[in-house]
Each structure stands twice: as C-alpha cells, then as structure tokens.
Amino acid sequence: MITPKGTLLLIVDVQGRLAQGVFKPADLEKNISKLIRACSILDVPVLVTEQYPKGLGHTIDSLRELLPDNVPVEKLSFSCCGNAEFMRQLRSFNRNDILVAGIETHVCVYQTAVDLIEFGYTVHLVTDAVSSRTEENKQLGIRCIEKAGASLTSSEMAVFELLHVAEGDRFKAISKIIKE
C-alpha cells in the first residue's frame, strides 16, 4: 500500500504542443488535475518535468496553476532519470513509491519508469493519467511498463489508497475532487 509519507507524484512532460496532440487530452488533463489536488491535500510532493520546453512549450496552464511554487525540471533525455537535476530533486524527497503520470506513455514515461525501477524505486503507473499520440502507443507503453515491473493503478485508486480511510476533512475534500 502506498502512503502519503512514502509517495511522490511525478508528472512527465504534459506540455503545450505535446499535450494537445495526445489520445483523449481532456481526460488526461482532468485526471492529472485530480491527482495534483488530492496530493496537495495529502502532503504528497509533486515533481514535474518538461521535455525541451523551447520547442514543445511549458506545462499546460491548468496544471501550472495548481502548482504555483513548482519549477519544472527541464530535460533533453527521454528518461527523466537521464537528467542530473531531476535525480537530485527526486532523491531529496526520500520517497520510494513513485506515482507516474504524463506523456508520452511509450517514450518518456516508459523510459523513466524502467530507469526508476532499475534504481530501486517502486513505480505505480497511473494508467488514466498517461497518454500518447495514439491509443495503440499508449496501450503498448502501459504493457511494457507493467512487464518491466511497475504496478498499474488509476487516479481514483491511487488517491483512495493514499487516503486509507473514509472519514474526516481530507476524505470529504478528496471525495469532492473525485466526483468532478
């Protein structure tokens, strides 16, 4: 079971031009937004990356607004783990369970997940919060990431697993988010 104290949310490359061209972009945006808001309530840190932002643009506005103090790690390597600053920040959080969301499932998300697993992290791929330009590449990426050793989850499943109990103010706030 994932816990707020042991978990980090990683959002990979949900950027302007890239985010507009993926399979079901509105669903991707909605589910990542829910994850960010729930993680904020549960004190789960969020790490954001951007692949070559000069060419692909920055993280989409709706997500940036939810993370006003978060500075994305700019990268050129497909795997986030190929970036020294990303690895420094990841290690500084001292969290072993990594919820992975973002794009593209079969490229940057896949390569990052495989590297994280090789570095000893436990990867939880949030399957309704990842996408690729085609549904086929999204599904292929999910299958390959699972085969590499990641567990699969959904945004709702992950949030309720982090929450653990159906009581209190956190539960009420998160229930509202999930129902949207």
Q: Would you name the residues annotated as active-site residues?
A: 13, 75, 108
CB 10 within 8 A of CB 119: no
CB 116 within 8 A of CB 81: yes
CA distance 82 to 157: 29
DSSP, res 91: H
Q: Measured in whole angstroms, how far is the alpha carbon of residue 40 from the centre of its chain?
A: 14
Q: How many residues are given for the chain?
A: 180
CA distance 115 to 51: 17
> Residue type at 122?
T
CA distance 74 to 80: 9
Q: Which residues are within 8 A (CB) of 145 and not within 5 positions of it... i.e. 6 or more apart? A: 105, 109, 110, 113, 114, 123, 125
